[in-house]
Amino acid sequence: MSMSSYLSRKFRHFFHVVSNVRPLYWILSYLVLIPIFALLYWWLPDTQFRIPDGATTDYGSWLYYSIVTITTLGFGDYTPAHGWAQAVTALEVVCGLSIFGFFLNSVGSMKSEIDVESEIEKQRMVHEAGEKEKLMKSIPAVMHNLNIFLAYCYAISTPEAKRSGDTADFNPDFRFSDMYELYKPSGLPIDHSRMPVATRLLKCAARTSLCLDSLQSRVDLSLWPDILSDCFDFVANYQMLSFSDTAIARIRNSVPEEKGMTIEEVERNIARLIGSYHSVADAQQQKELAPAIELYHFVKDNGMLARKIEVALTRISTECASRPD
């Protein structure tokens, strides 16, 4: 490295350092120099200066002279007459002008920093407004899928005898034995098929998972970390359920089929086994119920996640609707 490039690099580093010093510190340095140089003038012999007739030479007089010197006012009443006085006076002027220059440079650096932060904040607000607009457009479709999924969670976790009226409020505290009707139709007003409720639930879970995965790709959900986390967990839970091949057929095939037993009879045996165990801990003793237990955990976990996402999206919609344009 050549000497010129080395000095250039050191010079840039020096100005980078002094530019990052806050203006307040330069002001304090400027003020601190005044009494320090006043003390130096006080220590010098009076013969080093031309002092007006009748003027005093106490510390207060030299403090006045230091202020006049560092501010470059130069009234001319006190003047340096000889070498040491002239040298100290010149040094104070140079120090004062240098600190004032560094102060202006620091103010300019601070203004640039404020402008950059302001521009970043402006871009952040524009980005947030754009993502919120995209989220608002996506909310109706997402809410529709979540509501249907929660309805099927309610249907599979609430036997028909325990249902009340037309309300389909999913209760995440349901028992394992409450799932014994998983092979019966859901009985929901939105379901006109005769498919088992477990089959309809898994089909709906696939659509809901795809909808939430699409939402994550279209909207920057990092602005809403709770929603992002819940969407990710919902999709991950469904993928694990799907990859483990936990389907209705697997639950059905897990129970030994006796010779000549029909599918309906196998399903009734599964329902009887599920209904005989109130808690998952007891049901785990039966290996053939492992797929049904896996489905139980999926309904419980993803039902709670769906409700949390639904509540969060409803809150955002309400806030946007109540906010004036």
Confidence of residue 124 (pLDDT cuts 50, 70, 90): very high
**What digits encode the pLDDT tens for the residues 205-257?**
999 999 999 999 999 999 999 999 999 999 999 998 865 544 455 555 555 55
Q: What was the pLDDT predicted at 277? A: 85
Per-residue confidence (pLDDT) for residue 72, from 0 to 100? 87
pLDDT over 90 for what percent of the chain? Answer: 53
Quick: pLDDT tens for 156-190: 999 988 887 666 688 889 999 999 998 889 888 88
The CATH number, out of the four listed (2.30.30.220, 3.90.950.10, 1.10.287.70, 2.40.50.140), of the domain defined by the range 3-119? 1.10.287.70
80: part of which helix (H) or strand (E)? strand 79-80
For the stretch 79-90, pLDDT in tens is 999 999 999 999
The answer to whether 209 and 302 have CB atoms below 8 angstroms apart is no
Q: Which amino acid is at 292?
A: A
Beta bridge pairs of residue 79: 50
Residue 77 has pLDDT above 50, yes or no: yes
Instruction: Compute the Cα dihedral for 47, 51, 56, 59 and give only its sign.
Output: negative
Q: Do residues 176 and 296 touch, judged by C-beta distance below 8 A?
A: yes
Percent of the chain, pLDDT > 70?
89
- The pLDDT score that the predictor gives to residue 53 is 87
Model pTM score: 0.70
CB of 286 closer than 8 Å to CB of 189 = no
Q: Which helix (H) or strand (E) holds 212?
A: helix 197-218
* Per-residue model confidence (pLDDT) at position 17: 74
CA distances 61 to 57, 74, 106, Å, are 6, 14, 32
Domain definitions of the chain by residue range: 3-119, 129-322
Q: Is the pLDDT of residue 109 over 80?
A: yes
Q: Check: CB of residue 186 under 8 Å from CB of residue 152.
A: yes
